[in-house]
Structure 1
Amino acid sequence: MTGAIKETNFNFPGQVGFYKGKVRDVYMFDKTIAVVATDRISAFDVVLPKPIPFKGQVLNQIAAKFLKATADIVPNWVTANPDPNVTIGKKCEPFKVEMVIRGYLAGHAAREYAAGKRIICGVPLPDGLRENDKLPQPIITPTTKADEGHDEDISREDILRKGIVSEADYLVLEKYTHALFERGSQMAAEKGLILVDTKYEFGKYEGEIYLIDEIHTPDSSRYFYAEGYEANQKAGLPQKQLSKEFVRQWLISHGFQGKEGQEVPDMPFSFVEEISDRYIELYEKITGEKFIKANTQNLEQRIEEAVLEELKG
């Protein structure tokens, strides 16, 4: 197996804090953060035991590309990408919601719909939809941003009623979310893909709203291949997709959905390699560029030196 990075434990000069997310290790400074995209993988809000080679590089480089390509729509937090696994940027105060937007009935929404729900996050859905059908128009189905455990579905009304986000700010988040999804959908279509659903996170820096975290990656988004979509829907066949959903389906088939009392099944190395290959496939498909595997020898040292060099500047 190629080297993969499961976690980092650096101690940088001027560091004032550290946060370990499901996938990212975040090093905090006075007005800056350095984010290391590790090779951890999570599903059902649980971090799986084995890291996936090159996954962090894939996520970091796709996010960098899309953040640059959407900077005319909304300012984002990034100031530098000094290493294939590292992004450095503004230390924003995150909003406590994730803006999930869906153009198709898939994944979690499809499971809720199949269970009989016709209102998801306060948004009514018509009867008669089938899994993976295109929705009449894209819908925003927000979730709370949990520091630990599961993110929870929440409606726009509850977000405003509970004062999680002010109405003025939420209107801006909605506007940005729709505009980003439209741009992401256009860019996907140019590469023969359909952007099915995705999520965006936002924060504030010196009073201004910024797009933070990653966007349009296989961890935050679901893609279908455009070719064959209509035929598969007519025939009631599953869609060929590039996303993390195949990992979730593998876990479900092995009796795990992140519920209490369930044990995470052990992923064989052959499946770990398959996941790595799928992430690289998505990178090449969505960017239209050949994926260049970074040197994974002395991976932690490479990352640490890149961050130190950037902090000096």
Structure 2
Amino acid sequence: MSNAIKETHFNFPGQIGFYKGKVRDVYIFDKELVVVASDRISAFDVVLPKAIPFKGQVLNQIAAGFLKATSDIVPNWVTATPDPSVTIGKRCEPFKVEMVIRGYLAGHAAREYKAGKRILCGVAMAEGLRENDPFPEPIITPTTKASEGHDEDISREDILAKGIVREADYLILEKYTHALFQRGQEMARAKGLILVDTKYEFGKFGEDILLIDEIHTPDSSRYFYAEGYAENQKNGIPQKQLSKEFVRQWLIANGFQGKDGQSVPEMSDEIVESISDRYIELFEQITGEKFVKANVKNIESRIEKAIMAHLGQ
């Protein structure tokens, strides 16, 4: 299980900075970012101790496909994908919020609802909903974008009152978020899936607002299988999910939710391999394409050569 990208330590000509995110290694240039999608995996805002082979490739290629398929709605940051695990694009100034949009009462929203809350991020949730029921209309429930630690729920009103995003820009972010979610739901439906909820991140390049980061991947989104959805809801049966939720559920079942004093359970080779297999299954279901594993012999050398070629070195 060593053929996975746990972390990278490149040093490129013209590079002016480096940022290690939860799952990405970001090489910073004057007007460009080179982003390596590592095989690290996070849950409950904690990076788990073992990397998952091909996970980065899965997410990078899904995101590339969806960014291309939505570029008529909103321009995005991508300029090149020189390697299956690498995306290069414009260096934007990110808005310090994540635009989370929910079509169904699931995940965090369902946990809050079960706890008796009927307001989420300033948005009212109707009475009488059961877990995984659709909302009458999709709702936007933003979070702050934390540099470290947990992202926090925040309301539209607080975002504007605190000047985190200017109102004129925020109205555009809302418009883009709804349009992207509608497109994502249409594309999911064509693959026999339901796009339940997702998040979008935006940034500015000059005066232009661009879509940044990955979109519609199983790490940033939750999918249900459309087949059996209505029957499962009718009978109160949990929905079959196509998302990273299975990793969260495994952690919860083993006593970990990222809270103080809790320890990440042991990740056996079997668990790591099963998670890798699930990510590949996610890729094939979401895209309708066969997943082609990249060559993982000398994986870091492969990535470095692809980036250097793009940089003209």
- Short-chain TM bin: over 0.9
Amino acid at match of 1:274: S
Q: Which runs of 4+ in 1 moved over 4 A?
A: none
1:179 & 1:209 partners in 2: Cα distance?
15
| Identical aligned residues as a percent | 79
Deviations 1:12-51 (A, max 9, x none): 0000010101110000001001000000000000000000
Amino acid at match of 2:266: D
1:187 & 1:269 partners in 2: Cα distance?
34
2:146 & 2:304 partners in 1: Cα distance?
28
Residue 103 of structure 2 is aligned to residue 87 of structure 1: no
TM-score when scaled to structure 1?
A: 0.99
Q: Hey, what does 1:38 align to over in structure 2?
A: 38
Q: Hey, what does 2:145 align to over in structure 1?
A: 145
Q: Hey, what does 1:272 align to over in structure 2?
A: 272
Residue 107 of structure 2 is aligned to residue 107 of structure 1: yes
Give the 3-state SS of the residue equivalent to 1:49 in structure 2. Answer: coil
Listed as ranges, the matches of 1:56-75 within 5 Å are 56-75=56-75
Deviation, structure 1 residue 220 = 0.2
Deviation, structure 1 residue 207 = 1.0
Deviations 1:207-241 (A, max 9, x none): 11000000000100000000000000011001001
Q: Hey, what does 1:290 align to over in structure 2?
A: 290
1:209 & 1:131 partners in 2: Cα distance?
35
Residue ranges of structure 2 left out of the alignment (5+ in a row): none
Q: Hey, what does 2:205 align to over in structure 1?
A: 205
Q: Hey, what does 2:259 align to over in structure 1?
A: 259
Q: Hey, what does 1:53 align to over in structure 2?
A: 53
The range that moved more, 130-139 or 269-278, is 269-278
Give the 3-state SS of the residue equivalent to 1:312 in structure 2. Answer: coil
The range that moved more, 266-275 or 178-187, is 266-275
Q: Hey, what does 1:168 align to over in structure 2?
A: 168
Deviations 1:192-214 (A, max 9, x none): 00000000000000111000000
Q: Hey, what does 1:230 align to over in structure 2?
A: 230
Listed as ranges, the matches of 1:131-142 within 5 Å are 131-142=131-142
Amino acid at match of 1:82: P
Residue ranges of structure 1 left out of the alignment (5+ in a row): none
Deviation, structure 1 residue 2 = 5.9
2:105 & 2:2 partners in 1: Cα distance?
36
Listed as ranges, the matches of 1:182-201 within 5 Å are 182-201=182-201
1:164 & 1:153 partners in 2: Cα distance?
14
Amino acid at match of 2:185: S
Q: Hey, what does 2:250 align to over in structure 1?
A: 250
Q: Hey, what does 1:21 align to over in structure 2?
A: 21
